[in-house]
Chain A
Amino acid sequence: GAVVSQHPSWVICKSGTSVKIECRSLDFQATTMFWYRQFPKQSLMLMATSNEGSKATYEQGVEKDKFLINHASLTLSTLTVTSAHPEDSSFYICSASRDRNYEQYFGPGTRLTVT
């Protein structure tokens, strides 16, 4: 149990377009979902924390208008990278938790390449 999926697994898009990444908890209800970004050989960087039905909490330095997060249900959160640029190319990872204080289950990640 406790499986988290992400879709797509990888995506290539042109500069200036928007990309939506989905994160789903497949067999449990996730009240909290986290979005991370990871650069090669670096630790994951928390971008934002989203709770179902409320606005996401963004980490310092993360642009809210660029990285739109929606957590409309207990099993789905989406991250939309708006007006993507090559510097947005990265590995985006989500995780889901039954409750804020429970362990997280990570999704497999989405590799975004902006050309």
Chain B
Amino acid sequence: GQQVMQIPQYQHVQEGEDFTTYCNSSTTLSNIQWYKQRPGGHPVFLIQLVKSGEVKKQKRLTFQFGEAKKNSSLHITATQTTDVGTYFCVEDSNYQLIWGAGTKLIIKP
């Protein structure tokens, strides 16, 4: 069936370093949504990308949707401890939601 591959599974960074997570699909995505889930919490909707080549920013977070609408990325500049959590990409396609496995951002002590 349809799949959204998300990598990496984990990323360890020093506070202040950048972080990026990528999602890829073999099929054209109708849209892509990003969620953040803090440890012990529930996933929080961050953004939805719909247009080919779309780039959206939320403070230190930059979201991109590929020109072919087959990939997307989330980039965090200068990570902070409040960024810790798991970031999920989700495709909302054909009346079903297809979730990436999530990328866990871990700040090294």
Binding site for B on A (CB under 8 A): 34, 42-46, 49, 57, 59, 93, 100-101, 103-109
Contact = CB atoms under 8 A, between A and B. Distances in A.
B33 A46 contact: no
Interface in B74-107: 88, 92, 95-97, 99-102
Given A43-B88, A103-B33, A103-B48, A59 B96 contact: yes
Contact of B96 (A49, A103, A106, A109): A49
Contact of A107 (B33, B42, B48, B95): B42
B92 A34 contact: no
Nearest to B48: A103
Nearest to B33: A103
Given A43-B88, A108-B42, 20 more contacts: A42-B101, A43-B99, A43-B100, A43-B101, A43-B102, A44-B99, A45-B99, A46-B97, A46-B99, A49-B95, A49-B96, A93-B42, A101-B92, A103-B33, A103-B45, A105-B45, A106-B43, A106-B45, A107-B42, A109-B42
